[in-house]
A and B are shown apart, each in its own frame.
Chain A
């Protein structure tokens, strides 16, 4: 029997908890864990009961940071590795050996961590490019909306855009969505001039996605208002299964995605779960400015995604 679809950040954390209760609690390996916000997010999620964590990093610094900030790391395993790159290798090794289900970025640059994760030695590469999914729970919208890619690929080529979409669809499957509804973003619904990227969306990305990915509805070009509001769609005279009901908002540049998502987080109280998809384990990252809710939800989506990978044997 399949679980019901997840439509809110609360349901996301609830699912991560139920996965743990069913005996499949996920373990997160933290690379260079000497970062107070990361320690805080992991210990809170651990206290909630939806994950175990291995803190790979500078043990003295980790212990000191926890003490200074009154955080109890008693329940977490610490693996000492002072060098941050070596700590990343340590976390990747744990994931590679099946001892961790997800990797979390600590006190090192994202690019350094991802380079290690993609090191062939660990066999964690998937067939697709890595991309970032920002899954937003926006008050006023009736379901989660996945903005992608606002973190990894600056200006995707058509084939990369298809891979970004495939990654986002994996997340949608993990959330139990069926069918998955995809809006391909644009600034106007009926453009006078079809730009090169719009043409490649229409000629390549959309038909390829329909061919390759089952149980998918995809529509574009759609503006954000038409994708998320049936009233707006009516005003424009646009109909279809995706209008007012999109699960994924597939954009054309890192700027568009990043800026719109942050506008919703800062000014519309959207709760945000961010995860890097495309490797055989989810990669989680939180930033200092994320709220506690955002940090926890980001870890929860990594756990839910990792469980989906394991249950469905996505990577064989």
Chain B
């Protein structure tokens, strides 16, 4: 795999990505509303992001729970402002109010239950997600065994995206990759195989997306699919399957997964077993939302916050 040359953008590690986020952010740290920081690790992750100059946090949640978490985290963020909110609905309301009046630049999910949190954010009346756009989860992953970063969508919001949603998610990937300094991202539309089978709808939608990319209907990216995971990231696998004339095969910068289970499984596989540096953000709303998963490490929580700053 390493004998083959693949296109590697300048920003090809998590460290470089964080450096870019810092550079673009300038000297001012961004104001972040942290929703329900009831666990010590969320506070630790936020403090790390604060110490590194990324954010100044406002904590929204149950005051007692926050105090307990602070105590468990050695008084972490003891001076941060706290806005009391009993339930997830109240916390989201308060945070969206701050987004609307410009008090905060981004959100950080703490212990707010993921499905409820996503449902509240995507409720149409809240206006957090504009018409014609989609809120989707994007993870940036640097597996030890890959020479560059991989963006991955959507592990959180769309259980079974239809073609329309896949187009919007692909456009999100393009925009996010650009902010990450990858100007013409190579986007692989993943499937179980690398040929089109009528009995596998995923392969047909992938082929449509590839054609839309080829014709410039999706702009600013190379899009190809269907591609199996190995053909997306390993040039030898792509070659052995006879995939030629592809700007994407073997050297993907970004992956569109066919469904939420798949994206979530890949994210977790990399977090647990891929010796990967990673972080995740909800992208496509009025402001980015750092979206660490409940079992993520402090480092991953920190990466997620820094990524939210980058994608602003």
Contacts and interface: CB of A to CB of B under 8 A. Distances in A.
Given A188-B114, A254-B192, A255-B202, A270 B273 contact: yes
A61 interface: no
The listed residue with most A CB atoms (<10 A of its CB), out of B240, B266, B293, B295, is B295
12 contacts: A185-B265, A192-B118, A193-B159, A253-B259, A253-B261, A253-B262, A255-B257, A263-B229, A264-B269, A268-B270, A288-B240, A289-B234
Contacts of B257: 255, 259
A256 B294 contact: no
A314 interface: no
Contact of A232 (B143, B146, B269, B295): B295
Interface stretch (A21-29, A135-143, A172-180): A135-143
Interface string A223-247: 1111011011101100000000000
Nearest to B144: A267
A138 B269 CA distance: 10
Interface of A: 138-141, 150-151, 154, 185-188, 190-193, 195, 223-226, 228-229, 231-233, 235-236, 251-260, 262-270, 287-289
Given A255-B202, A288-B240, A191 B264 contact: no
B116 A192 contact: yes
Given A140-B272, A262-B228, A289-B237, A187 B261 contact: yes
A223 B113 CA distance: 15
The 4 lowest CB-CB distance pairs between A and B, nearest first, are A192-B115, A232-B295, A262-B229, A268-B273
Contacts of B218: none
Interface string B262-285: 111110111111111000000000
B192 A138 contact: no
B236 interface: yes
Of B159, B193, B260, B270, the most chain A CB neighbours within 10 A belong to B159
Contacts of A139: 273
Residue from A224, A251, A255 with most neighbouring chain B CB atoms (10 Å): A255
A288 to B, nearest CB: 5
Instruction: From A154, A185, A260, A264, name the one whose CB has the most chain B CB atoms within 10 angstroms.
Output: A260
B295 A228 contact: no
A225 B115 contact: no
A251 to B, nearest CB: 7
Contact of B155 (A187, A232, A262): A187
A260 B115 contact: no
A138 to B, nearest CB: 5
A235 B237 CA distance: 37
Given A252-B261, A253-B258, A228 B272 contact: yes
Contacts of A259: 190, 192, 228-229, 257-258, 262, 265-266
Contacts of A258: 192-193, 228-229
A188 to B, nearest CB: 6
B254 to A, nearest CB: 14
A288 B239 CA distance: 11
Contacts of A185: 261, 265
B200 interface: yes
Most chain A C-beta atoms within 10 Å of own C-beta, residue among B200, B230, B265:
B265
Nearest to B159: A195
A268 B266 CA distance: 11
A268 B233 CA distance: 13
Given A187-B260, A266-B233, A267-B143, A260 B295 contact: no
Contacts of A223: 264-265, 268
Contacts of B230: 262, 265-266, 289
B199 interface: yes
